[in-house]
Structure 1
Amino acid sequence: MIPRRLLQAGVLSILAAFRAAPLSASWTPAASGVSTDLNSVFFIDSDRGWIAGDSGVVLRTTDGGATWTRMTTGTSTHLNSVHFVNSSTGLAVGNDGLVLKSTDSGSSWTGQNSGVTDNLTGVVWADASTAYICGQLGRIKRTTDGGASWANQNSGVVETLNAIYFVGTSTGWAVGNAGTALRADDGASWNAADPGTSNDLHDVFFVSASTGWIAGESGVVSKSTGSGSSYQSLYSTSTTFNAVHFVSTAVGYFAGNSGAILKSTDSGTSFTVERSLTSNHLNGIFFPSAALGIAVGDSGTIVREGTASSSPEAEVPPQGSLKAVNNLFNPAKGESVQIRYAIVNSGKVTVRVYTPQGRLVKTLIDEQRTAGSYSDLSWNGSNGIGETVASGIYLVHIEGPRFSQTRKIAVVR
């Protein structure tokens, strides 16, 4: 057995390394309340957003992704994509030709007649009445009456199309399996483009009619500056990327398998690897502002970077605090970590323990609390079924009203 003093020294060295080499982003887990795969995320502003997932799941947030509430969709069919044109009106699409529409910010959804039964994978609004959907068999359809009726468009391909995106009412792109890349300049006529790969393509995003990016299987991280007629590979990796979103021409993110997140601040010339705190596949990513991002993935995974603010230029005072006392402890000796926290606003508070990979170890509290300071919480090193966890680094994470924070602790046995 390793002497405790040596193990303690090792753990302390890990903690020191964390402190000495801070990561470029602070992604933290957020509770989804579901265990199904989450496939798509979209925000209309820094506060209001929606997530679509398997088994008919739609989640909504009104506080920048700090908390999420499940909406009633009336279906158990897998939903693959969600998009809102304003704070009230949105569309979600899924398997078996399912199209749902909401006109009350996602509180309720009604089915629309898509005219197909094959799986639909992507949806995007072009303006208040015009939207596009894509899916299996090279399917592209357009509505000009807000989703009441859908007309077929000739994509010229039979491969599954996985994503569709528009800038304005007429300029659009779609990508799919076997290196399928399409572009339309008039919102109706689709032409083949050269993505520079035959790998499956999973997502497309453009910041203007000329500049955009695609993400895909086995390391596809590529950019176009020619309106999507051709793409240039940006990054060498074997990781599959499922989603891409750019906040501006310069700053953007790719999310993919095994919790991978890449960030670029120079339009894709170079990338840094972000630490997402999850090993689950990430299927969607969205940044409503440069200060706030949400990524979603398998098994109900939500990870969040930054904080929401309806006034980004204003100084926002801290809305709470979290402190771990005796954060290096040995459960075998009856020791525990004391968790002290404070919240400025009354509301729901959750405190959970995670592994560094983002796996939930235990929920310590999940209830309403009034504003104030609390010191009645502790963790004795056990997981959700009462087993003592292994030695190593763990994360205590709090989500409160307009407040979230994470602290590292170490278990030594």
Structure 2
Amino acid sequence: MKALIGVLLLSAIGSAAKWHLLSWAGSDTLREVQFADSMQGWAMATKDLFHTTDRGRTWTVEQTLPPDSGNFHSGFAGLEVVDSCHVYLSGGLWSWSQPRYMNWTVFVKERLRGSWTTPFHLERYGDYHWVYARRLRFLDTLTGWHLGQDYEVDVRTNDGGASWRSFVSFEDSSEAGYDAWFIDTLTGWAVWDSVGMTTNGGDSWSPKTANIGARRIQMFDTLNGWVLSTYGLMQTTNGGDSWTTVVAETGLKAMRFCNPRHGVAVGLNGRILRTTDAGASWMPDTASAAMDLCSVFMVDSAHAWAVGAEGLVLGFGDWAKPGIDGETQLPLPVLLARAWPNPCRGTLWITVRDGAGSVVVYDDCGRPVAKVQSSTRRTEKLDLRSLPTGVYFARAASSPRAGVRFVLLR
């Protein structure tokens, strides 16, 4: 077992690109995003799961946590999209049954062909023992793993989620599992701050590298892969026996590769690093909004998304650039406003980031159809019940480039 063997500095060789604002999915922080293809994807907040079918330009709430009703929700924690018909979601809740004792439940839900199944529950009683769901990983439609904050919710399935059984973490069972990655049904790696490897599907684990602050992992084969740690981006070429710090930078929160050559890492204050040469160099990209980013996903080198604070959704690729909308032939709004719910059914709340002037709503032909006079408030309520179903654009009169695209359903 070896620790770090070297540090390489960030290289900015190549040309930086810009990530463009697509939309705002709700108003809470989005913690995870995954896409099944270039059109359809899901984004997870603490209490809501959003779904898009138009590359992230509009989102609908597909799952939401029920009111507490005496329970305390730790919220949604794990999201895995295998394909458009197989989506998995995990979360947790707890409640007090008697003084000093708590019931905690971790649940895993499955979306099959558009319908969500009854969740599978893992339950336990404890003495002030707080347990959280953390991460889901699926290899295919049958084989998956769930990592929790406690070893009793480290479970796996071989039948697509119909049943689950426990597996044992590779170190102290009290350690929290942050992430896992499997390249087949037997061979995988997991990170509990350290890195461990299994060759039997999780029945036993061999420690690889200890105490490197590992939080995310992605492996391409038995030798090559990457870890995102509290110290930066680390690379292995020997199966995890040793790791080289390639990007020494704190504040990175997520990473994703679509293949061994193309990958992205995102973090605080809109930080985006991208590689097109297998990590030999990392280019700092720019974003339309310098807000914290929590998750990133790549379908291929031309289609990527990043999500984060206040429901922010960014897109990467020529398709995401502001300009002419192929359907409406109208200039797409740039940024600085947020509308929810989106789609809406008559009542829309809109936040204008400069907080001044009136808000004007235009139809898809560019005609003004509604106006709300604003003073110094940042959030306005729009009554659009008299308008027909369609695509609309809300803009701040005092800032023509501040706008948002939304869908009205009747």
Q: Same fold (TM over 0.5)?
A: yes
Alignment match, 2:31? 39
Is residue 101 from structure 1 mapped to residue 92 from structure 2 by the alignment?
no
* CA-CA distance at 1:118 after TM superposition: 2.2
Whole-Å Cα distance in 2 between the matches of residues 257 and 269 of structure 1?
Answer: 23
* CA-CA distance at 1:285 after TM superposition: 0.4
Whole-Å Cα distance in 2 between the matches of residues 66 and 277 of structure 1?
Answer: 15
Q: How many corresponding residue pairs?
A: 334
* TM-score using structure 2 length: 0.70
From 236, 239, 245, the equivalent of 2:248 is 236
Alignment match, 2:336? 354
Whole-Å Cα distance in 1 between the matches of residues 241 and 288 of structure 2?
Answer: 36
Alignment match, 2:165? 151
* CA-CA distance at 1:210 after TM superposition: 2.6
Alignment match, 1:137? 150
Alignment match, 1:61? 52
- Indicate how the Cα distance of structure 1 residues 111 and 153 shifts in structure 2: closer, same or farther if over 3 A, else same: same
Whole-Å Cα distance in 2 between the matches of residues 165 and 247 of structure 1?
Answer: 14
Q: Do 1:291 and 1:306's aligned partners in 2 also have CA atoms closer than 8 Å?
A: yes
* CA-CA distance at 1:308 after TM superposition: 5.6
Deviations 1:339-382 (A, max 9, x none): xxxx4425999746429xxx944695667x44x45689999998
Which one is further off, 300-309 or 207-216?
300-309
Matches within 5 A, 1:361-380: 361=354, 364=359, 369-370=363-364, 372=365
Any unmatched runs of 5+ in structure 2?
1-13, 68-72, 94-105, 125-129, 338-351, 381-398
Q: Do 1:29 and 1:277's aligned partners in 2 also have CA atoms closer than 8 Å?
A: yes
Which of the pair is proportionally richer in strand?
2
Whole-Å Cα distance in 1 between the matches of residues 159 and 305 of structure 2?
Answer: 31
Q: Which secondary structure state, in structure 1, belongs to the residue aligned with residue 206 of structure 2?
A: strand
Deviations 1:64-115 (A, max 9, x none): 112211113454641122112221121111234232221134x645311234
RMSD between superposed Cα atoms in Å? 3.7
Percent sequence identity over matched residues? Answer: 23
Deviations 1:153-201 (A, max 9, x none): 111323211112222322222223xx32122223122221216x533x2
* CA-CA distance at 1:240 after TM superposition: 2.1
Partner letter of residue 282 of structure 1?
L
* TM-score using structure 1 length: 0.70
- Indicate how the Cα distance of structure 1 residues 375 and 348 shifts in structure 2: closer, same or farther if over 3 A, else same: closer
Any unmatched runs of 5+ in structure 1?
1-21, 310-317, 322-342, 388-392, 402-413
Matches within 5 A, 1:253-264: 253-264=264-275
Alignment match, 1:48? 40
Higher RCO (C-alpha 8 Å, min separation 6): 2
Whole-Å Cα distance in 2 between the matches of residues 27 and 383 of structure 1?
Answer: 30
Matches within 5 A, 1:165-244: 165-176=181-192, 179-188=193-202, 189-194=204-209, 197-199=211-213, 201-217=214-230, 219-237=231-249, 239-244=250-255
- Indicate how the Cα distance of structure 1 residues 274 and 319 shifts in structure 2: closer, same or farther if over 3 A, else same: closer
Q: Do 1:349 and 1:399's aligned partners in 2 also have CA atoms closer than 8 Å?
A: no
Q: Do 2:109 and 2:116's aligned partners in 1 also have CA atoms closer than 8 Å?
A: no
Q: Which secondary structure state, in structure 2, belongs to the residue aligned with residue 226 of structure 1?
A: coil
Alignment match, 2:313? 302
- Indicate how the Cα distance of structure 1 residues 346 and 270 shifts in structure 2: closer, same or farther if over 3 A, else same: closer
Whole-Å Cα distance in 1 between the matches of residues 323 and 368 of structure 2?
Answer: 13
Alignment match, 2:345? none
- Indicate how the Cα distance of structure 1 residues 347 and 35 shifts in structure 2: closer, same or farther if over 3 A, else same: farther
- Indicate how the Cα distance of structure 1 residues 102 and 366 shifts in structure 2: closer, same or farther if over 3 A, else same: farther
Matches within 5 A, 1:267-278: 267-278=278-289
